[in-house]
Amino acid sequence: MKRRTGVLLAVGAVVVLGVGYGAADAADLVPGPLTTAEPWPEAEPFPTPIVPGRGPVPEVLPPLSASAPVPDAEIIAAAAREMVQDEATGAGVGVVVVDLATGEELVAIDATQRRTPASATKILTGLAAVTSLDLDDRLTTSALLSGDDLYLVGGGDMTLAADEGDPTAVLGRAGLADLARETAAELQQRGVDSVTLRLDDSLFTGASESPGWGYWGVGDGFVAPIEAVAVDLGEVEGQVATSLRPAVDAAVIFRDALREAGVTVEDGLERDEAPQDATTIAQVSSATLRELLAVMMTQSDNTLAEVFGRLVAIARGEAADFEGATTAVLAGTAAAGVDVSGTVLSDTSGLNSANAIAPELLIDVLVAANEDPALTELARVLPVSGLVGTLAERDIPPGAVRGKTGTLEDVVSLAGYVTTADGRPLAFAVMADDVEYGGIWAARERIDAYLTQLSACGCQPESDV
């Protein structure tokens, strides 16, 4: 009995102990799930982020309207005469302004006098590219094999990257090291472990430099020798001057990349055209011509402009040299219905001061590019004041002008489109080719001031009403 009682007492002690701990738990004196305290308030829901709605988009380019009032010709002509008479623009200035909607000539000062255009020449080069080329095409750099001879064949791409190409870039879309690795893999599959490298840059012919470039040439980095294959547009890191032999430099880079990929390449490098029966075993392609044209126009890239001149020459059956390129660019301009009579071109970039173009001709090109849907690509790739390209830093309101700049030692030109404060679209060409030595900055500022004046006014005579 005593034992049973003991068991009961033990059980009872456990029960009593359990009741005591539960009470302590409920009083929050010891750890446990029980409590007599008021429950915590339910948590507020996590706030949903509020994204502000899209605000109004600032107007960059004013709306164009053919119904907007035409500027008074005398008002804008008077402003043009003030600019022409300003000593900042020099003794030789031509100005033409045309109403795009009607074709009415509002200003004509020495409109037919041919002047040195500088890089405004690229307006003709750009138009000829649009009329002559498929802008969705790409330039291909290839490796061709004939026996143990491996040919690096240039297809006109002077924008190659030395190593890997960048599929998101325009310049450097294709890479020479990529071509070398693809070539090495193909050679291995064919059981070829040793080759003699030859350079075929025969696509472009004749001189690679123009004697008319002078100060504005290769030595000062304004342009590279124009050859059928090059890396980085012939630019050399750490120096102002471009390479004197961009195609050979590209071939050396290709050779070194081949060796790094495990191919034995015999010493020495010769220029030689690939035979007709050579087999293409690898190739890389540039950005589209459309993309390259945009870089050429917005950045006023002289090397690309000369490349485009030669591509137009090939497309039009001319020799891919300076003479063939200039002949073809004039033919491509004429194909748009523009009269090029009397126009003189010695290159297609505008570096040659022997070029002679009338302001009226530039206007005809701009009007054609505005009216013909097939030619509007030219207008699309022009620099934009305050925003894009060579007009980005000019002293003209952002978006007010879309046009092509030109500068040489004594030349400042600008031709393009401007919209008045009333929304009336105009085409203009201003060419000053007798600017005093050291005065090009002042000439630019004076021309910019005139275009700013056009964009800021409706240029209407005061009403008596």
- Residue labelled with tokens 């302001």: 359
The secondary element (H helix, E strand) that includes residue 151 is: strand 149-153
Helix (H, G, I), strand (E, B) or coil at 153: strand
Q: Using CA atoms in the order 51, 53, 58, 60, what is the torsion angle rounded to 10 degrees?
A: 80
d(CA 388, CA 160): 24
Any idea how long the chain is? 465
Query: Is-catalytic flag, 2?
Result: no
In a 13 Å sphere around the CA of 319, the CA atoms on its Cβ side amount to 7
Enumerate the H helices of 27-141 as residue ranges. Answer: 73-85, 122-132
Question: What is the torsional sign of CA 351, 229, 275, 140?
Answer: negative
Q: At residue 134, what is the residue type?
A: D
In a 13 Å sphere around the CA of 95, the CA atoms on its Cβ side amount to 21
Beta bridge partners of 282: 143
d(CA 77, CA 107): 5
Query: Is-catalytic flag, 122?
Result: yes
Helix (H, G, I), strand (E, B) or coil at 93: strand
Instruction: Identify the CA nearest to 292 among candidates 133, 176, 154, 180.
Output: 133
Instruction: Identify the CA nearest to 246 among candidates 280, 218, 266.
Output: 218
C-alpha 255: how far from its chain's center? 30
Please give the backbone phi and psi of residue 432, each rounded to the nearest 5 degrees, phi first.
-120, 115
Q: Are 141 and 179 in contact (CB under 8 A)?
A: yes
Out of 122, 132, 349, 455, which one is annotated catalytic? 122
Helix (H, G, I), strand (E, B) or coil at 126: helix
* DSSP characters over 224-276: ----SEEEGGG--TT-SSPPS-HHHHHHHHHHHHHHHTT-EE-S--EE-PPPT
Out of 132, 300, 349, 455, which one is annotated catalytic? 300
Q: Annotated catalytic sites, by residue?
A: 119, 122, 300
